[in-house]
Amino acid sequence: MKYRLLKGGLWVLAMICVLQYTHAQSGSTTSKIPFLQQKSTWADSVFQTMSPEERIAQLIMIPVYSNRDKAYEDSIARLVEEYKVGGLIFFQGGPGRQASMTNRYQAISKVPLIVSIDAEWGLGMRLDSTMSFPYQMALGGIEDEQLIYQMGAEIARQCKRIGVNVNFAPVVDINNNANNPVIGFRSFGEDKENVTSKALAYMNGMQDEHVLANAKHFPGHGDTDVDSHVGLPLISFSRERLENTELYPFRKLMRNGLGSVMVAHMSIPVLDDTPNLASTLSKPIVTDLLKGEIGYEGLVFTDALNMQGVAKFYPPGIVDVKALLAGNDMLLNTMDVKTTIEEVKKAIKNGEITQAEVDKRVMKVLQAKDWQGLSHWQPVSMEDIHEDLNNSKAHSLNRQLVEASITLLRNEEEALPIKRLASEKLAYVALGAEEETAFQRGLSRYVEADTFFVPKDISLSSLEDMLKTLQGYSKVIVGIHHLGLKASVKNFGITAEMNVMLKKLINAQPTVVAVFGNVYSLDKLEDLEKATAVIATYQESELTQDVASQLVFGGVGAKGKLPVTINHNFKIGDGLQTSDGFRFSYVEPEAVGIAQEDLTGIKDLVQQAIAEKAIPGASVLVAKEGKVFYQQAFGYHTYDKEVPVKITDLYDLASVTKISTSLAALMQLQGEGKFDENKTLGDYLPMAKGTNKEDLVYKDILTHQAGLTSWIAFWKSTVRKNGSFKWFTFKDHQSKRFPIKVADHLYIHRHYADKIYKEIMKSPVSEDKKYVYSDLSFILAPKVVEHITGEPFIDYLNETIYDHLGASTLTFNPYQDYPADRIVPTEYDSLFRRQLLHGTVHDEGAAMLGGVSGHAGLFGDANDLAKLMQLYLDDGEYADETLIKGHTVSKFGKCQFCPDNYRALGFDRPRKPGDPNGNSAPSAPASSFGHTGFTGTYAWVDPENQLVYVFLSNRVNPTRENTKLYQLNTRTNVLEVVYQAMK
């Protein structure tokens, strides 16, 4: 009885001391620790309701996985409910499941739980379906630290969205040991000032959003060669070295309000020479150095107590109490809650630690919980959780971070960005990969090239054969893939065969090398310093490969600087710069000031058109100021829903051919002084001499007011009354007399084109010079171009325009070069060709000309057509080349005879600007221009808003009688969504 009274008396005395301390602390405003800057009456009141056991439990954080079964989930609930632990650390799983579990555990917890996670590079470090930002080594190469602050803030927002209050980041270890098996790419680099400034930006971003940052791993894990997950690293440095290097970033962050710190499992004899004692369990390190000498007041977390750096020396429960006695506030990954609580109670009873000291730490935890908003805890909303965690703004920031980090280490003779595409023959090689990589796909957006794959274990004979093949290319662009991230992987996964291949290639011809992996791997690549260009990306992800491909062709510029020294060739601070905007960049809408959610109407409109069977599918692209910010494919090739549309699929462009071929050539010729729209057809086309077409002025022709007949159904004159073809027109097999393919199993007579041209020349010309849209002059345009240039029409277009743009898919008769599943079918022609048209032109006249005409017949994907439209938007210039001289495009894009005729020279213009049912978006200015296509295509540019818009569909599938696309006005309404989003 006396013992109990004495115990109770001591308890009362302890309570008085704690309350005095807590009132003093909770009212403190001098501390820079964010949760200590304001009084917390909530913490005071909660504290007074807690039993001694519950207070001990507040210092315990248990591991939780959201990818386990219901029985496991229930077992965690029992620990929360029975022992009232203070917090959770989540590991692998998914965000929805984790949020749901958090809601459950918070609801049954007497005191709200601190929920934590290791999200050094974002939630993607632990959770599926979430974002991963660049590793810290990549961030170490960024000069604009405001981006890192924004990343910290965004990671904090995402943490809060799933109920996380503490993120165990940033890593402030200075990685001055290239062989470090556990830190490496997780560090900002080897320079203490750089590490500190980057860590401060990350910390401030998180804590400004009320998520507690956590600097790790105190007192510095950067120069170790043992992974503390599997053993106890030995740090043999002097105290002076520790002070000048390892401790530097910790001290600075602590002086600037760092909310929490994590103590590492390391043996550091200069601070504590107890054998086999990790720093986590060392009172001289945690209490005397960290809390005493440095004076740190924030929360001190242990590193995970189930790691072998401590766990192989002490069992669960014992290791926890030792960590508490050392001075840690929060015990991370307690594996035996019951034993831990009992062992702490024993330690209090034995006088190893006072109740007052325990309570002091508990109050600190409660104050942190109050600051984090847990005093007013609300369940995590499950609605739209995945969308919120993958928002476009965050993806745009992620892209900016990658763009700012990727480092160009060599660029001989300014080889990058690659400039004159027309004079290059490129090869894309994936070294270490056996199938197409994201890097190769990204490169192909700029120009299609031959791709090669080199497995890590390629045979020497295959290697030699490939090297011989590659000799025929002007430049070889090599991506090095599937490397190991950690130094513990031998040579980071670079094989001898890979080195032989790369070394021989570099020494044989111009080679651009992009290394997708740990930057230290550059030291394992032989003769890399002799490459034409070297790009360090720090890691391999879809995004890094995407951005690296843009750097190669100038969509983005190089900005990053090496945060570590690799060898004498690649040193800290190295990094060349190049300019951006040379060619298209591919970005999120936020990069051009548009919120992605404001563009959801595009998807709604296209899906409505698909649902109402106006079109089976579509490909849509929008660019602003040279940045492609929207590129999506919808639906399927046909209503059979067998082949989904991809953004790289080729569509029949129909009348968009007019502005993409005939007009492109004529404008190019005018820029060279070889064509004048004020001259006549007879001046440029000998067959027009002596006909009623001879004196037609080209300005009238291109504005469709020359009096030409609208169109002629050439094919009808080839059919007999019984439906069969006349003998001199078509055959079902190819021969010398019938060599020209019109469709599958249908070949036309070799001279039939002459008959078509004669029929055009015999057609009437109206004396009433009113606007009548006509195909006829554009059918003749290839002959005009060929007469002026002496070159075949296709060759001239390729040599002067398409090859320079890298517009590889702009082509006639795509069946000759592309697989069928990449070409979108058009109509089932039941009258003339009696088949589904797939890879051959829809327009009958163009088909009868062998698929090559100036009014129809061109195929292409949205991206390549957009390049041409960007050329027009920039008045004939693209990638520092003037392809159409003399401001010809701007002249051709203007109205010539307004108000009587709204057309430009060859281009369409808004018929009635502002009309919601017009041929252009209601908000499209009068200065905008482009063209529509019968098959359901649309290409438009807006010089005032610097917009390029491409809409490709096959509304004629299965029949041209389907006019729902016109009735819905989908093409112009989609563009209107963009205008409204810009507002």
Q: Which two tokens stand for residue 196?
A: 């500190």
> How wide is the angle at C-alpha 182 spanned by C-alphas 178 and 186, nearest 5°?
80
Tell which residue, 708, 833, 849, 717, has the closest CA to residue 776: 708
Alpha helix locations (H) across 210-305? 239-241, 247-255, 283
Q: Mark 453-483 as b/e (b = at least 16 C-beta within 10 Å).
A: bbbbebeeeebeebbeebeebebbbbbbbbb
The packing angle between helices 2-26 and 41-48, to 10°, is: 170
3-state secondary structure (DSSP) of residue 799: helix
Q: Is the peptide bond before 792 cis (omega within 30 degrees of 0)?
A: no
> What H or E segment, with its residue span, contains residue 477?
strand 475-480
Beta partners for 635?
617
Helix (H) or strand (E) holding 255: helix 247-255
Q: Which of 173, 223, 303, 580 is catalytic?
A: 303
Would you say how long the chain is, in residues?
983
Quickly count: other Cβ atoms within 10 Å of residue 597's Cβ: 13
Asked if 663 contacts 801 with a C-beta cutoff of 8 angstroms, the reply is no
The conformation of residue 133, written as its DSSP 8-state character, comes to P
In 3-state terms, what secondary structure has residue 708?
strand
Q: Which is catalytic among the residues 23, 44, 128, 229?
A: 229
d(CA 115, CA 98): 10
Q: Which two tokens stand for residue 618?
A: 């579509």
Which residue has tokens 């043996």?
Answer: 267
Dump the DSSP string for 331-366: EET-S-HHHHHHHHHHHHHTTSS-HHHHHHHHHHHH
- Amino acid of residue 779: I
- The span from the CA of 335 to the CA of 332, in Å, is 9
The span from the CA of 614 to the CA of 957, in Å, is 9
Is residue 681 within 8 Å of 929, Cβ to Cβ?
A: no
CA distance 378 to 365: 19
10 Å CB burial of residue 451 (0-12, 13-18, 19+) is middle
Exposure b/e, 1-36, CB count within 10 A at least 16 = b: eeeeeeeeeeeeebeeebeeebeebbeeeeeebbbb
Residue 942 bears catalytic tag: no
How far is the C-alpha of 952 from the C-alpha of 938, rounded, in Å?
6
SS3 content of the chain, % helix, strand, coil (to 5): 40, 15, 45
**186 Cβ contact list (under 8 Å, min separation 6):** 120, 135, 136, 137, 171, 173, 175
Annotation says 229 is catalytic: yes
Angle at 702 between CA 698 and CA 706, to 5 degrees: 70
CA distance 435 to 433: 6
CA distance 327 to 299: 11
Per the listing, tokens 């009113």 go with: 770
Q: Which residues are catalytic?
A: 229, 303
